Structure 1
Amino acid sequence: MQRGMHGSDTGAFDVKGRFVPQKFEEIFIKHAKTRPDGLTYLEVEDMILANRDPLDPASWEGPQIEWGGIYNVASDNDGFLHKDDARGIYDGSVFVKLEEKRAFSHHSAM
């Protein structure tokens, strides 16, 4: 995790790669305007822009790719990235949930 650290991030991981719950909660406190437990695509974009380090433009692309991927993988049909799913990206639990959803929809289609 330490080698994956970059500027312009949310601070949800410290320099030793440990998850910082308070920083994670701040993402939603500061940026979830439509509903407190989820981020829209535009709110994710606003968060990315707010976290940009103006002195480190080389670090701008990482969060865009990371959060764009998180949003594409974990947002719901109404366009919200829910807090629990975003936290699940950090701890890995969302991938089990997504696989269960995929298996259910595949099974239902048969």
Structure 2
Amino acid sequence: MATKLDGVQTGILEAPLTVERPVYNPTSEQNERLPNPGTARANLAPSLDTPEGSQAWAAAHAHQTVLEAHVNFFDHDSDGVIWPLDTYRAFRALGFNVLASTIAFIGLHAALSYVTVDGYLPDPCFRMYVRNIHKIKHGSDTGAFDNEGRFIPQKIEDFFQKYSSAPEKDSLTKADISNGLRGQRLLADLVGRFAAYAEWMAFFFIVGPKDGKLLKEDVRRLFEGRLFYEIAERNSKRAVGAEKKGE
């Protein structure tokens, strides 16, 4: 007995994990909605539920890969260079307090600055360069970004198919994320495991789902970078509203 759809066998009982963690195995109809899901997209982040992605967003960032657009929020003045202060301001805008934002910018720039420089010498100001941001990719993650910074829709669909406890496979609880991180971890990859955990927990915090479930559409918009701006705008409006109430 095996998991089989449209002639593609994705699981066998003799290897229980292949049945317990089913991959995204699209039907003919789903393949028409989201063609070639395993092919990496250069500047578009689609999903089965949003097969066209965010067209306006992609058009505005047509000169960037999806990963570059993903981190564009942290490039405060859009000059292609992310300064430590840019990262601090970004975390504050996303709702993190002073301490958490300070820890974040110190840790991120200390760990990631060097891999984004063009030469062999480290940047004296610990800046990160957006043109080389694809080099920060780490292991034990979803694999949604390839090594060149393109987006692979199949990987997100796989992650939700494997680990979502929702019947519709359209959301993730903290327990689902924890199971997913355990399932994706690689041997001797402590850095990747820590980075993946920190990223998902930070994402869960900034979205702050009231029902404790992260929607797949939120995850998709996070990967393309648009969600950062939406959350910052939401926080800004809340702050203005709080100031008006205090007057």
**Shared fold per TM-score greater than 0.5:** yes
Query: Which segments of 5 or more consecutive residues in structure 1 lack a partner in the other structure?
Result: none
Structure 2 residue runs of 5 or longer lacking an equivalent are 1-132
* 8 Å CA contact 2:163, 2:180 repeated in 1: yes
How many Å separate the matches in 2 of 1:17 and 1:49?
A: 24
SS of 1:13's equivalent? coil
Which aligned pairs between 1:1-110 and structure 2 lie closer than 5 A? 1-35=133-167, 36-106=169-239, 108-109=241-242, 110=245
1:104 deviates by: 4.4
Measured against aligned partners, the alpha-carbon deviations of 1:11-44 in whole angstroms (never above 9, x if no partner) come to: 1011111111111111111111135211000101
User: How many residues in Structure 1 have an aligned counterpart in Structure 2?
Assistant: 110
Deviations 1:68-99 (A, max 9, x none): 11111124111111111111111111123223
Q: Give the whole-Å Cα distance in 2 for the aligned partners of 1:28 and 1:106.
A: 34
Structure 1-normalised TM-score?
Answer: 0.86
4+ residue stretches of structure 1 with deviation over 3 A?
Answer: 103-109
Distance 1:37 1:105 in 2: 28
TM superposition shift of 1:2: 1.9
Is the contact between residue 8 and residue 63 of structure 1 (CA under 8 Å) also seen in structure 2?
yes
CA RMSD of aligned residues (A): 1.8
Query: SS at 1:95's partner residue?
Result: helix
Contact 1:75–1:82 (Cα < 8 Å) also in 2:
no
Who wins on radius of gyration, i.e. which is larger? 2
Percentage of identical aligned residues = 32
- TM-score normalised by length of structure 2: 0.41
